[in-house]
Chain A
Amino acid sequence: MIRVVLPAHLRALARLGSEVRIDVEGRATQRSVLDAIESAHPTLRGTIRDRVTLQRRPFIRFFAARRDLSHESPDADLPDAVSSGSEPFLIIGAMSGG
């Protein structure tokens, strides 16, 4: 069980609570977690990563266990604290305004 925290606007869009719990088959990586979230909540497709290239959108960041994982490989293992469910995987709208 992976815990995921989404930005407020995406929670509103997908009508989700403050934290999403999601089952991931196999290793917990950015890709496997995002695949699982998008599969469970198709409205989120394209809002976190590009639909076609699957690259992270420029103003989205991934944090976990006090680290910025945004530039890690999407296939790298997530920290043990995330894969064990003790800490959430944070999807963040980057600090910017407009």
Chain B
Amino acid sequence: MSGVRVLVGTRKGAFVLTADGKRSNWKIEGPHFAGWEIYHVKGSPVDPNRLYASQTSGWFGQVMQRSDDGGTSWQPVGSEFVYDGVPGTHQWYDGTPHPWEFARVWHLEPSLTDPDTVYAGVEDAALFRSTDAGQSWHELSGLRGHGTGSSWQPGAGGMCLHTILLHPRDPQQIYAAISAAGAFKSDDGGTTWRPINRGLKSAQIPDPEAEVGHYVHRIAMHPSRPEVLYMQKHWDVMRSDDAGESWHEVSGNLPTDFGFAIDVHAHEPNTVYVVPIKSDSEHFPLDGKLRVYRSRTGGDQWEALADGLPQNNCYVNVLRDAMAVDSLDSCGVYFGTTGGQVYASADAGDHWAPIVRDLPPVLSVEVQTLA
């Protein structure tokens, strides 16, 4: 019988939540790596037993972990992330040049075709790739070196590469997004890169339409229509219909268009989910009501989904990597909060229920659909 495995990264460990296809009775395992920040756990689409995890700590730095049995056991793999060549500088918060310094891995993106190949987005922003199942990591330095890197500045959470999208059919096309530099694309498998931020407008930077400097929070794509991209920017929900060459706003009737997470329904490429957050300084839902908003029109027209979610005194946040969908016939949607709840909907967002309520603050949620 089919089932799902939800991989949850938190401030104090990783948790693995499993259920059958009904998604009503859950088994909760963890914490794995108790006491460590787990920024992201993600499985290989080719081999669902192959998982990669980013384990980090203010005391002990970065450790990478791999599981070959679906998260039951783990082994440390390589955690040496060395920037290619002379790293150079980016801008510090005060505008002065600051040397690139590795801090942690924010996001892992396993290859769509090879379980031993995985990409890592890191802080200070750079893209690394391993082709030996995480044992060694090599920077794709054309991203930092394409020309604008020296002008990138960190966002409040650090200068992180947090989004990696792999084209479902053309391995040469890779997207990446960096806070606070913007979106970037490679058409040659990650060797060379260019900014793709035309149409983004950010009032928080001196030139609102600058080539780089935008606070992109997350980009999502549906595999059946990879030329369409959805973006949750710091403020504004954006859409591109030309593989990132240009963007237009689709915030429409959202009550606030600030937020972090965005994702697309597994079977309906026009159905998009966001979690509106009040503002850049008030990182909680409007009016204490936790609501997912769904658009069935690819943006602009949004409906609130609140059934089963707390509708008073709720002041949690949903971080950029903390929403995911499964690919069962009735698409499941999942998200985790900074209050430690993981919510699931087995009917595309119509009804919600918590899988677990009292985990440490949730940093990331990924879902594997198991045969």
Contacts and interface: CB of A to CB of B under 8 A. Distances in A.
Interface of A: 7, 9-10, 13, 43, 45-48, 51-52, 57, 59-60, 93-94, 96, 98
A57 B61 contact: yes
- Report whether over half of chain B's contact residues are helix, strand or loop; otherwise say mixed: loop
A7 B61 CA distance: 14
Contacts of B79: 45-46
- Report whether over half of chain A's contact residues are helix, strand or loop; otherwise say mixed: loop
B88 to A, nearest CB: 16
Contact of B59 (A9, A43, A45): A9
B63 A59 contact: no
B58 A46 contact: no
Given A43-B63, A46-B62, 13 more contacts: A10-B60, A13-B63, A13-B76, A45-B79, A46-B79, A47-B61, A51-B80, A51-B82, A57-B60, A59-B59, A60-B60, A93-B59, A96-B58
24 contacts: A7-B60, A9-B35, A9-B36, A9-B59, A10-B60, A13-B76, A43-B76, A45-B79, A45-B80, A46-B62, A46-B79, A46-B80, A47-B60, A47-B63, A51-B80, A51-B82, A52-B82, A59-B58, A59-B59, A60-B59, A60-B60, A94-B59, A96-B58, A96-B59
Interface string B25-37: 0000000000110
A7 B76 CA distance: 17
Contact of A9 (B57, B76, B82): B57
Interface of B: 35-36, 57-63, 76, 79-80, 82
A61 to B, nearest CB: 10
Contacts of A43: 63, 76
Nearest to A52: B82
Contacts of B58: 59, 96, 98
Contacts of A93: 59-60
Contacts of A13: 60, 63, 76
Contacts of A45: 79-80
Contacts of B61: 46-47, 57
A69 to B, nearest CB: 18
A9 B80 contact: no
Contacts of B63: 13, 43, 47
Interface pairs A-B: 9 shortest CB-CB: A47-B60, A93-B59, A59-B59, A43-B76, A46-B61, A47-B61, A9-B35, A59-B58, A51-B80
